Amino acid sequence: MPEGIFCNKQPVETKERLHEVLGDKGGAKYYKEMESLEVDVPALKALLKTSCKSRLKTWLNGCMRCGLCADSCFLYIANDKDYRQVPSYKIQTTLGELVAKNGEVDTKFMIHCMDVAWSQCTCCNRCAIYCPMGIDVGVMFSYLRGILFSQGFIPWEMKIGSGMHRVYRAQMDVTSEEWVDTCEWMAEETEEEWPGLTIPVDKKNADIIYTVNAREPKHYPEDLAHAAILFHLAGENWTVPSEGWEETSLAMFAGDWKAAKMQVESVYAAIDRLKPKRMVVTECGHAYRATVTEGPYWAGIKDGKPPVESLHYVEWVAEALRTGKLKIDPAKKIKEPVTYQDSCNYIRNAGLADDVRYIMSQIAEDFREMIPNREYNYCCGGGGGLNGIGRYRKERNVGLTVKRDQILATEAKLVITPCHNCWDAIRDLEEVYHIGIRWSFLKPLLVDMVLVPEHLKHLEA
Amino acid sequence: MRKRVELTLASILILLCIGLRLAHTDNIRRQDRAAHLIALDGLASMGELERPVVQFPHGMHAVGDDDASCRTCHDVAPDGEGLLFVFKAQEGLSREEIKALYHDQCIGCHADRESANKPTGPQMCSGCHEKEPLKSVKPMHPVDFNTPLHTLHTEKAALACQTCHDLPDSSAPFDQDRSHDLCLGCHLTGQSNDSASAPLDCGGCHTSKSPLLVLDGDASQGGQVAFDHELHEMADVSCEVCHHKEPETACRECHTDGKTDTDVKISIQAAMHTKKSERSCVGCHEEMGIGDVDDCTSCHQPFGEDAS
Amino acid sequence: MYHFITGPLLWVSFAIFFIGTLTHVVLYVKNLDWELDRVSYGAHTLWGIRGALRSICLWMTPYGTRSWRIKPLYTFMFYLFHVGGVLVPLFLSAHGVILKSRWGISLPTLPGFVADLLTVGVMIAVVGLSIRRCIRPEVRALTSGREIGTLIIAVAPFFTGFMAYHQIGGGNFWTLAHILSGEMLLVAVPFTKLSHMVLFFCSRAQIGMDFGIKRGGMKSVGMPC
């Protein structure tokens, strides 16, 4: 069975392989090789047999084809109501066919499946709440991604992403040393302004273990500083682990369930090691989904809950504001119209809509809801890994129009996006469509807004 | 295969129905049931009916069949004499209970008879609840309770006047309920089980022709003659003997009364009494040696016995 | 004919229907897998039951979910179809007569004109839903022979029943056709998409548990559907 040098069924498991694949700029050779990557039909059949059980079969067979899911999909709306973007159509012509043919499919079909699975579904799960039969196409596409991964039919960036997790236990090439260095560096930088501020690494029995998205240490280290300031101001007894600090999971986007398991287990191991009371996850939606919502299942935890109570950053902020650990300076509240992007992964799929509304009520004077919102909000347009895949940039940009129009309708110029994916998508949206908006995580806004307790006030120069 | 199961089943269903339509004939032709219908509309008094009234073909049920006796459907009257002419055991029942009773009894019996391979009736809704009225459910023929029939009751059955003519209430009309009660009650309990002389079926009384044809002629010349047509048919007298012209032509069309119409060749009196022709009553009787032709009262007997 | 199709054939149809649907439910529940589905069915049972009931009830309520509310006309046709489709076969007085005589069970019955209206409703809904299937591109793209066949099998007993009730062109023929199509419906349920008669409840209960246990049900009032 011929396999390519770049494109093959083996996941990337070493630094060398990772560099090799990364060296194929944009995956040009990778995708060329994919065209002749053969399908391992017996393996596919075996996988279907063990993993396609009653829930999936019922979803596939029980779809009454009513089409109510059509209007629930932002990609359907963005693509001028093209029937090929109806969720039911998308899954039936891919996974549905695959199951109906019991895996007897060819390379061309698998590439088609890949294109649909990563460019026509962001696994936002919005269709699931519009389906009378309770069919969740997002979950099915996630399952299909797993099948495609096992056969090597995944976008180049996904192959690299899952490889990163396997090699670095992080979505980017950030080693433990680099992470700890960054923490120390940020602590030093911030300490000047905030005496007594530390970023405690590997502190046992802390109240909070704080875990992040590798992009933060790699590209936005000041985010870590902001987190430290806010914990400091709130008087939290917190720590970060030297290992198991990465919450995100490109492996989840890639359908690499093995790597996803490795990744969350590294976090759970840190929890076991440091015995914190609770975990707080940075402002990232899919990280929360991967480590708090789905992770326990990958790790085989029967009650489906992470080892300790885990909060998304917005939950912690809402709690800190409610309990008075953090107080907002009324004079510094956001005066201009501001809107907020509900992240699918922790709003629709984790029920945190109320916490966010509370935060907005505390920090903004003119909060404008997008319509629809909360559980019904549309995906930012870049979820499920779509932001990061060059092959589907055009499709992603078309999808962004729905969010663009939603934001425009609020007439707000500031969009609060406590989710890395949403943040990226809205940044790209501004780059592509120039609608004159700004976007921000919560942390930088809060740092400027919170009242500093008397005893923590920094010395004036 | 699995992909097509819905459409396959739907096609089979449509084909089945088309086949059924082509092959289907209602077993019982409507006109066969048209006679002797009773509308089972008792529930109408208890609220609007949901289904068309059942037009019950009583005649088809009271055929004296092995086990379908009157008692199958009718209870004995409380005084032990005769039957109640309503469907049995519905006294004091609610609308729903009566409905259930009819359904149980009718459909149950029809089903039992079908299993026993006996002639049976419908079991499907529309078999009994027919929407289109077949025709008036009133008997087509009123009972012609004429003089000879009256004689039959007074003389042969030897009924006392009061049996029918209740003195204090003699003006009460013989409406449907009263006459059914009276006549059928008596016919049922009467000594004679001969249904010819004491009919129990509708057509026995509600007949188009009276069993006795009254040849009433001119009363001043003698009493009416109660002519038993059936008896003459049985006696192997061929039709043409009497009906020597067209069968529809009445005797009096040619044989007029000799007294008022002196031009007539053969008067009615002659046509009936001449011994010269075997077409006349007397001639034929003489020829065949039946009855005493010289005794006027053997035919003209106002209150006489019947011809037998 | 009548004897056979309301006797042995009816028993066979009911047997297939009950055994088939029961098998669907049993297999569905048996093959749920907390690890593959990533829902801890066993660990938070009460939350699961709460989520399942909530989901089933909200979706069974006309206009009870946002999905129903944003498509008012479709929802109207949907309920016209399903309310009549469920109530009429169960509570038609003529069916009650048979049920009483065969099994001695007496169910409450619908007044004739109500059943008649519901039946007409079912037929109108089927026509409406079929038109929608033809004219809406997003639904047309999803429609295959399976959906059309399902609609035909589902509406046949109502159409033939209506014709038999009103005795339009041979009441006895339509009654026989009605019984046959009803039996076809019963037999078809386990083998066709009509199995959603039971799988709807299974599937909704499952996603309800998913929402109730895993996706925020334990942290908020619960998914609004």
- Indicate the pLDDT class of residue B137, thresholds 50, 70 and 90: very low
pLDDT of B139 above 70: no
The pLDDT, as a whole number, for residue A461 is: 41
- Cα C51 to Cα A429, B143, C56, C223: the distances in Å are 37, 77, 9, 8
pLDDT of A454 above 60: yes
Q: What is the pLDDT of residues A63-89, one digit of tens each?
A: 999 999 999 999 999 999 999 999 999
Q: What is the pLDDT of residues B76-96, one digit of tens each?
A: 777 766 677 778 777 778 888
The pLDDT, as a whole number, for residue B266 is: 82
pLDDT of B170 above 80: no
- Indicate the pLDDT class of residue A162, thresholds 50, 70 and 90: very high
pLDDT of B15 above 80: yes
Cβ distance A62 to C200 less than 8 Å, yes or no, reads yes
Q: Give dist(CA B292, CA B279) in Å, integer.
A: 17
**Which residues of A, range 35-54, sit inside 8 Å of C by Cβ?**
51, 53-54
Q: Does B146 touch chain C (CB under 8 A)?
A: no
Q: What percentage of chain B exceeds 70 in pLDDT? A: 70
Residues C138/C159, Cβ–Cβ less than 8 Å: no
Rounded (10°) CA dihedral A288, A294, A297, A299: -40
Q: Give dist(CA C207, CA B207) in Å, integer.
A: 75
Q: Which residue has the tokens 């299993």?
A: B115
Candidate ranges A434-438, B113-117, B162-166; pick with highest mean pLDDT = A434-438
Question: Do you find a cis peptide bond into A372, omega within 30 degrees of 0?
Answer: yes
The 3-state secondary structure of B25-66 reads CCCCCHHHHCCCEEEECHHHHHCCCCCCCEEEEHHHHCCCCC
The pLDDT, as a whole number, for residue B20 is: 77
- Cα B68 to Cα B64, B71, B78, B203: the distances in Å are 7, 8, 22, 18
Cβ burial of B208 (10 Å; 0-12, 13-18, 19+) is exposed
**Which residues of C, range 125-154, sit inside 8 Å of A by Cβ?**
136-144, 146-147, 150
Query: Contacts of residue C55 in chain A, CB cutoff 8 Å?
Result: 134
Q: Give dist(CA B153, CA B303) in Å, integer.
A: 11
Query: Contacts of residue C113 in chain B, CB cutoff 8 Å?
Result: 50
**C173-179 long-range CB contacts below 8 Å, 24 or more apart?**
C173/B20, C173/B21, C173/B24, C174/B126, C175/B124, C175/B125, C175/B126, C175/B127, C176/B20, C176/B24, C176/B124, C176/C1, C176/C2, C176/C5, C177/B16, C177/B17, C177/B20, C177/B21, C179/C2, C179/C5, C179/C6, C179/C10
Q: Does B50 touch chain C (CB under 8 A)?
A: yes
Residues A381/A53, Cβ–Cβ less than 8 Å: no
Candidate ranges A141-145, B24-28, B102-106, B115-119; pick with highest mean pLDDT = A141-145
Q: Give dist(CA B245, CA B234) in Å, integer.
A: 21
Q: What percentage of chain A exceeds 70 in pLDDT? A: 99
The pLDDT, as a whole number, for residue B308 is: 33
Q: Which residue has the tokens 């129990």?
A: B200
pLDDT of A430 above 70: yes
pLDDT of B223 above 70: no
Cβ distance A293 to C204 less than 8 Å, yes or no, reads no
The pLDDT, as a whole number, for residue C157 is: 95
Closest by Cα among B73, B76, B105 to B87: B73
Containing B213, the helix (H) or strand (E) segment is strand B213-215
- Indicate the pLDDT class of residue B172, thresholds 50, 70 and 90: low
Containing A353, the helix (H) or strand (E) segment is helix A353-363
The pLDDT, as a whole number, for residue B117 is: 84
- Residues 6 or more apart in contact with residue B251 via CB below 8 angstroms: B242, B268, B271
Q: Give dist(CA B218, CA B227) in Å, integer.
A: 15
Across the range A305-314, mean pLDDT stands at 95
- Indicate the pLDDT class of residue A177, thresholds 50, 70 and 90: very high
Give the residue from chain B lying closest to C160, CA to CA: B17
- Indicate the pLDDT class of residue B303, thresholds 50, 70 and 90: very low
Give the residue from chain A lying closest to C133, CA to CA: A66
DSSP B128-190: HS-SS--S--S-SS-----HHHHHIIIIIS---HHHHS-GGGTTS---HHHHIIIIIHHHHHS
The pLDDT, as a whole number, for residue A180 is: 95
Give the residue from chain C lying closest to B30, CA to CA: C170
Query: Contacts of residue B16 in chain C, CB cutoff 8 Å?
Result: 177, 180, 184
Query: Contacts of residue A62 in chain C, CB cutoff 8 Å?
Result: 193, 195-196, 199-200, 203
Mean residue pLDDT of chain A comes to 94
Q: What is the pLDDT along chain C (225 residues), one digit of tens a residue?
A: 777 888 889 999 999 999 999 999 999 999 999 999 999 998 899 999 999 999 999 999 999 999 999 999 999 999 999 999 999 999 998 888 888 878 888 889 898 899 999 999 999 999 999 999 999 999 999 999 999 999 999 999 999 999 988 888 776 888 889 999 999 999 999 999 999 999 999 999 999 999 999 998 888 877 777
Give the residue from chain B lying closest to C146, CA to CA: B6
Q: Give dist(CA A388, CA A215) in Å, integer.
A: 13
The pLDDT, as a whole number, for residue B233 is: 67
Q: Give dist(CA C180, CA B24) in Å, integer.
A: 14
Q: Does A72 touch chain C (CB under 8 A)?
A: yes
CB-nearest partner of B6 from C149, C171, C180: C149
pLDDT of B118 above 80: yes
Structure tokens given for C15:
């047997």
Containing A56, the helix (H) or strand (E) segment is helix A54-62
Cβ distance C204 to A133 less than 8 Å, yes or no, reads yes
pLDDT of A165 above 70: yes
Q: Which residue has the tokens 């079991």?
A: B123
Cβ distance A133 to C142 less than 8 Å, yes or no, reads no
By mean pLDDT, which of A12-21, A248-257, B39-48 is the weakest? B39-48
Closest by Cα among A399, A398, A394, A397 to A379: A399
Q: What is the pLDDT of residues A184-228, one digit of tens each?
A: 999 998 888 888 899 999 999 999 999 999 999 999 999 999 999
Q: What is the pLDDT of residues B48-86, one digit of tens each?
A: 788 888 888 877 777 666 666 777 888 877 776 667 777
Q: Does C217 touch chain A (CB under 8 A)?
A: yes
Q: What percentage of chain A exceeds 90 in pLDDT? A: 94
Q: What is the pLDDT of residues A32-66, one digit of tens each?
A: 999 999 999 999 999 999 999 889 999 999 999 99
Residues A122/A383, Cβ–Cβ less than 8 Å: yes
Q: Which of C35, C66, C138 to mutate to test the interface with A (most CBs of A within 10 A)?
A: C138
The pLDDT, as a whole number, for residue B306 is: 40
The pLDDT, as a whole number, for residue A330 is: 93
Q: In terms of DSSP H, where are the helices of A152-256?
A: 156-168, 176-191, 215-219, 221-234, 250-254
A163 backbone dihedrals φ, ψ, rounded to 5° = -65, -40
Containing A92, the helix (H) or strand (E) segment is none
- Indicate the pLDDT class of residue B26, thresholds 50, 70 and 90: low
Cβ distance A133 to C203 less than 8 Å, yes or no, reads yes
Query: Contacts of residue C197 in chain A, CB cutoff 8 Å?
Result: none
Mean residue pLDDT of chain B comes to 73
- Indicate the pLDDT class of residue B307, thresholds 50, 70 and 90: very low
